[in-house]
Every structure is written in C-alpha cells, then in structure tokens.
Amino acid sequence: MNRFDYIRPQTIAEAVAAASEPGAAYLAAGTNLLDLMKGGVSWPARVVDITRLPNLSEVETLSDGATRIGALVRNADLAHDRAFAARYPAVAEALLSGASAQLRNVATAGGNLLQRTRCRYFYDTASACNKREPGTGCDALGGENRAHAVLGWSDHCIATHPSDFCVPLAALGAVVEIEGRGGRREVPLTEFHLLPGDRPDRETVLEPGEMIVAVRLPPEAAAFAAHSRYLKVRERTSYAFALVSAAAMLRLDCGRITEARVALGGVALKPWRAPEAEALLVGQEPNRETFERAAELALREARPSGDNAAKITLARRTLTRALQLAAAGTPERLPALPASAFASSSSEVSHV
C-alpha cells in the first residue's frame, strides 16, 4: 500500500473540502475500498474518514411520505428495520441476500451505491483494464467473461455493477442526495451510475469532492409493498454476487396489473430499469405469458459481450420468475434464503 494522509472531518463541509483534493477517497465501512487498496488497485493519496459525521445514520419518514436513508445507515440495520421492511420488502430482501452477515453489519447505504465492479480483470493488476488504467485495453473481452455484461457494454469495458441494494432502489425510483462544493443536488438513481462508453474509469456522476449524503425513496414506492420481490441467481446461494438478479413490483386491481416496476442486476455496469416492460404490463392479467413477454422486451437490446449468450436467457427467466413471485404476493415472512430461487415456503424466518 502507498502512504496516504488520513483525515477525519467533523462536518460535511469539511469532508467535501478535504475530498476535493486530487487523489482523495472517502472512507466509511471500507468493505470495498480497503480491499482495493491492499490489492494495489486503488492508490488514494488522502483518505477522508466520514464515519463520525452527524445526521447521516438515520432512516426518516418525511412529511410527504417519502423515506430518507442516511448514507451511513448500515445494511443490516436497514434490512431489519421493521417499518422499512414492511414498506419496501424487496429492498430488505435484496440487502439480506448480499454478502455475509458480518459485512452487512458494517457496510453502509452510500458505500453500497459506490461499489466497484467485481470483474476479475479489474482486480488483477497484471491484466489490462481501461477502468483501472484508462487506455490499456480490456482483457475481459477475450478472456473468461460468461458473467459479464449483456446490456450497455462497450468495446472499452464489459464489467457489471455488483450491488443488490441498487436494483430494487432503481425500480422504485430512488433519488440520490449529493453534497459538494456547489451545495446539495439530487440525481435519480437510474442516472447516477454511468455506462462505460469510451470512459469506463468514470463510473458515476459524482464530481471531485462530492459525497452521497442520503438516498430517498418517493412516497409512491410504498404502494408496491403487497406485491414486491427480489430474485437473485448466483453460483453459490450464500456470499456470492449475482450472475443475474431482478426486482419486480406490481399493483393489482380486479385481476389486472395497474402499475409495474422492473429492474435487472448483474447485466450491465448499472442497475437496469426496464420502463418499456413496465408499460407493457399495465392493464394485463398477471400470468406467465404476460410476464414472459415483458421479460423479452426488457432484454430486447441485450447482446453477448463474449461467451455469455446464455446469460440473456437466464435474465429473461429470472425476471419472469420474479414477476410471478411478485404477483403471488409478498410473503409475510422472508424465506430463510433471501432472494434465492431455491427458497421454499417451508423454511421461512422473519426478516424484521
């Protein structure tokens, strides 16, 4: 590891000023950053510790019915918050399907949004990676890439975004609150992460020094609580990142779908919301044929980035299954294997 300055600011303004210097990085739980530093992937010259900043660790219900999640709220605390899990069960299910219990106890909401890709070539400093070192190439393109992107990728990068948390947030229209030198601004989560294009090293809309202070779910997001699921397909049911995941939320009335929200994970360098599939579902009966058509539309632009054509079929089937689960209704108790396709109703434990 390189030598670096360590700063612990007392206010958000101090943190932003300190992190505006070239080579600075924010430190919260460090569950991703410290691994990157130890592996020689990230070399910050200054680490700005924001763990002691005030007013960033609360979950609040605002006067308009929106829910505001502070950037330092721990994943486990959020998933096990009874009121939150009741209003946004798919978000709680996604959180509980990610990493191990030990990591969920320390990882933060803001840090979850800023996770770096888990592409093996990004982590291997002997490999060419345009995300890690712009202009060096992308060894993933001709390498082991069956788990890589099938949507939104470019010839410069075919990595995927690893977050579970972000997928239902994108479906529910979450907004990211950002503090910077110019004050506070808000960005829809669907616009927060950037597709690789010819600049895969630029991953989000954050400018130097800007930090996430909160994530906000709009009032209407809670209306999907009765029919809301997250489904994650992975190589191991525990402690593994998604090959493909899907968040599906429905509102039903008189046997018809009146509103739908759909997003996919593990398929692109950002959580992939599918508004055309959502529109197709409205007014339809909640059956397998309808869900298969929606899944086909959601993956209409998908194309292999290597030896991963099967991932497109897997994504379609995962989304179809997620929609079926959502239509059946949110379970009162979360399965013992959250978000798993292998979960059975006979092994349920409370998620609140």
Task: Give the count of beta carbons closer than 10 Å to the beta carbon of residue 148.
Answer: 29
Amino acid 19: pLDDT: 97
E strands within 57-210? 59-61, 67-70, 175-180, 183-188
Amino acid 335: pLDDT: 80
Amino acid 226: pLDDT: 98
Amino acid 83: pLDDT: 96
CA angle 130, 135, 138 (to 5 degrees): 40
Length of the chain: 352
Q: How far apart are CA 30 and CA 47, in angstroms?
A: 11
Q: Three-state SS for 332? A: coil
- Domain boundaries in the chain? 1-54, 223-328
Amino acid 238: pLDDT: 75
Full-model pTM: 0.95
Number of Cα atoms under 13 Å in the Cβ half of residue 154: 15
Bridging pattern class, strands 183-188 and 211-217: unpaired
Amino acid at 330: T
Q: How far apart are CA 38 and CA 86, in angstroms?
A: 39
Q: Which CATH number fits domain 1-54: 3.30.2310.20, 2.60.120.260, 3.40.50.150, 3.30.43.10?
A: 3.30.43.10
CATH fold label, 223-328:
Enolase-like; domain 1 (3.30.390)
**Where does residue 22 rank: exposed (0-12), middle (13-18), buried (19+ CB within 10 A)?**
exposed
Amino acid 352: pLDDT: 40
Q: How far apart are CA 214 and CA 148, in angstroms?
A: 29
**Where does residue 237 rank: exposed (0-12), middle (13-18), buried (19+ CB within 10 A)?**
middle
Return per-residue pLDDT of the chain as tens, 352 residues: 689 999 999 999 999 999 999 999 999 999 999 999 999 999 999 999 999 999 999 999 999 999 999 999 999 999 999 999 999 999 999 999 998 889 999 999 999 999 999 999 999 999 999 999 999 999 999 999 999 999 999 999 999 999 999 999 999 999 999 999 999 999 999 999 999 999 999 999 999 999 999 999 999 999 999 999 999 999 987 778 999 999 999 999 999 999 999 999 999 999 999 999 999 999 999 999 999 999 999 999 999 999 999 999 999 999 999 999 999 999 988 888 899 988 764 434 344 4
Longest dimension (CA), the chain: 64
Amino acid 1: pLDDT: 65
